[in-house]
Chain A
Amino acid sequence: MPARAQLKIDREPQLKNPRLVLAWGSIGDVGTEAVAYLRDKLGAQELGHIEPYDFFDPAIEVENGVVEELEFPESKFYYWKNGDGDDLILFIADYEPQVGRYEYASLLLEVGQRFHVPRIYTIWAFPSLVSHTAEPRVFGVVNDVKLVPYLEQYPVIPIQERNLISMNGVVLSLARERGFQGIYLLSEAPHYATGTYHKSCRAVLRVLTTMLGIGIALDEFDPLIEQAEEEMDEIVKKASWAFLEDFTIDYGDFFKEEQ
């Protein structure tokens, strides 16, 4: 089966120098939520999707003896026309493909070729020892040595030596082979973060929107971040008390007996 049949582009908008921004599910949904924020703020339009059937085989779920409807992860493209400036194509995927990474990456790059994309950005996050009270750092990798000085203009920590195991690395490497420049921005999130971690979304978007030259307000993240921080403080406080009670002696009682 030709892989190309799995690429469904529903519209053919005329796009000017569109930069392609890619995101997959990761810890704290950082990449996907960041790009979804961008999509919603800009009012980006649907462009197409990748059919999941070559890349995912879901296990079926059963509830009370009845099989649930099959659900496949979504991988969707959006586009945004930027008036006089350069346009955007956004790609948001629930998960990385289970199999067929090369084919899948080729489909993404085909979109790049079709719309004459000059540069690709991929967004991701990894679990780290960062505290939820700290500002998450943003790291960067490029696929072209000429981009190194460009990256240095931004508050991005360059990654020197690392094996990249997510799709981001695969796409960047194939992108170079096919003549695309590529930048990979990855943020960090506390390893204990559950649900969406907005603080990292904001951190990575600060860098990305500056690179893209797109001014959008990021303040919608603020109340969400504040609320999550309060909740996490509470959890950490409880965990610390539980630790103290389980692993320390109450010296108050100890001295009482002595007297």
Chain B
Amino acid sequence: MEGITFHSEPELRNPSLIAAWPGMGGVAIIAARYLRDKLGAEELATIEPYNFFDLGAVSVHDQVVGEPEFPESKFYFWRSGGEKDLIIFLGEAQPVVRGYQLANLVLDVAQRFKAKGVYTFAAAPSHIYHTSRPKILGAATEPRLAEELKGMDVTPMAAGTISGLNGLLLGVAKRRNMEGICLLGEIPIYTTPIPNPKSSKAVLEVLIKLLGIELDLAELDEWAKREEEEMGRNIAALRESHAEEAKRLLDYFDQLEQASAEEGIQELLELSTEELLGDVERFLKREREKGN
């Protein structure tokens, strides 16, 4: 296969593909990395980066320039010991160009090992507080699969777009008549640039049910707790330092905290999403940076 280096040629049984690229809250990539690490998945193949990425900076050590560095696009495999093995693909960065071709290469490899199902993850930013339990939305390549997801506490995504490769891969899978599911974990709209292991855990909970495998998710819980505490500290610090200036943002947090998880909040005070994100950038980001 052109543009792909294979590190091993294992015999895999009915494998499913799980693929992830970085995106909002790192929901997808954190979940897929955790899965790879916890299962101890082994290296399978690497996609050459040259068609999809541009060279960035080159580091210097002791006056000597280092090797050119490209983001990795790498496959791993895991033998379950049972009937269903896994292929896990991790893209270190979203491709700069030719995402459609990258998605096709990823599926070429999956189909070479006769994979039928494809799973991806993504984030669904919404008006929830960072301490509440994220809902899981689902998008599938076929109505039958979307219907099956309902039984797993997954809400079908009513309408919208999934941008980036976590979405595009599913569109390409559909073109190839492969079955595909994207699980989207809710994340608070004010935390999109920071990791959200809580949402990653929530999508993994659904995935392991779908695949029928066991996985210890405790480490994600611990990480989620740390992130949650830090966010709590940042909001408290903001309340201390800028209570008046940041009033409408703080009011928004109060409202989210009081809203029940099911209902969410109906109206955003008088705040538009743009204004909200502007306030987050102005106040909350500053608290975060101070804390680091």
Binding site for B on A (CB under 8 A): 1, 53-54, 56-70, 72, 99-100
Question: Across the interface, do A60 and B100 meet the contact criterion of CB distance under 8 Å?
Answer: no
Which one of B33-41, B72-80, B152-160 is at the A interface?
B152-160
Contact A64 B158, CB 8 Å, known A59-B167, A100-B97: yes
> Cβ of B161: which chain A residues have Cβ within 8 Å of it?
59-62
Q: Which 5 A-B pairs have the closest CB atoms?
A: A65-B156, A65-B146, A57-B99, A70-B171, A60-B171
**Out of B100, B149, B159, B164, which one reaches A62, CB within 8 Å?**
B159
Question: Across the interface, do B98 and A54 meet the contact criterion of CB distance under 8 Å?
Answer: yes
Prevailing SS type, chain A contact patch = loop
> Cβ of B99: which chain A residues have Cβ within 8 Å of it?
57
Question: Across the interface, do B162 and A59 meet the contact criterion of CB distance under 8 Å?
Answer: yes
Given contacts A64-B158, A66-B143, A72-B100, 9 further A-B contacts (CB under 8 A): A58-B171, A60-B162, A62-B162, A64-B143, A65-B139, A66-B139, A67-B139, A70-B168, A70-B175
Interface centre among A56, A64, A66, A70 (most CB of B within 10 A): A66
Chain B proximity of A103: nearest CB distance (Å): 10
Interface centre among B98, B146, B164, B172 (most CB of A within 10 A): B98
Residues of B in contact, count (CB < 8 Å): 33
B234 contacts A by Cβ under 8 Å: no
> Cβ of B51: which chain A residues have Cβ within 8 Å of it?
1
B137-148 interface bits toward A, Cβ cutoff 8 Å, 1 = contact, 0 = none: 011111100100
Question: Across the interface, do B146 and A1 meet the contact criterion of CB distance under 8 Å?
Answer: no
Question: Across the interface, do A1 and B101 meet the contact criterion of CB distance under 8 Å?
Answer: yes
Question: Across the interface, do B159 and A60 meet the contact criterion of CB distance under 8 Å?
Answer: no
> Cβ of A54: which chain B residues have Cβ within 8 Å of it?
97-98, 101
Question: Across the interface, do A67 and B140 meet the contact criterion of CB distance under 8 Å?
Answer: yes
Question: Across the interface, do B100 and A53 meet the contact criterion of CB distance under 8 Å?
Answer: yes
B285 contacts A by Cβ under 8 Å: no
Interface centre among B139, B143, B168 (most CB of A within 10 A): B139
Q: How far is the CA of A62 from the CA of B158 in the complex (A)?
A: 7
Interface centre among A53, A69, A70, A72 (most CB of B within 10 A): A70
Residue of B whose beta carbon sits closest to that of A71: B171
A-B contacts, 9 listed (Cβ < 8 Å): A1-B51, A54-B101, A59-B167, A62-B161, A62-B162, A65-B140, A67-B170, A70-B168, A70-B172
Chain B proximity of A27: nearest CB distance (Å): 23
> Cβ of B163: which chain A residues have Cβ within 8 Å of it?
59
Q: How far is the CA of A212 from the CA of B149 in the complex (A)?
A: 59
The residues in B between 95 and 137 inclusive whose CB is less than 8 angstroms from any CB of A are 96-101
B174 contacts A by Cβ under 8 Å: yes
Q: How far is the CA of A142 from the CA of B60 in the complex (A)?
A: 47
Interface centre among A54, A57, A70, A99 (most CB of B within 10 A): A57
> Cβ of A64: which chain B residues have Cβ within 8 Å of it?
143, 146, 156, 158-159
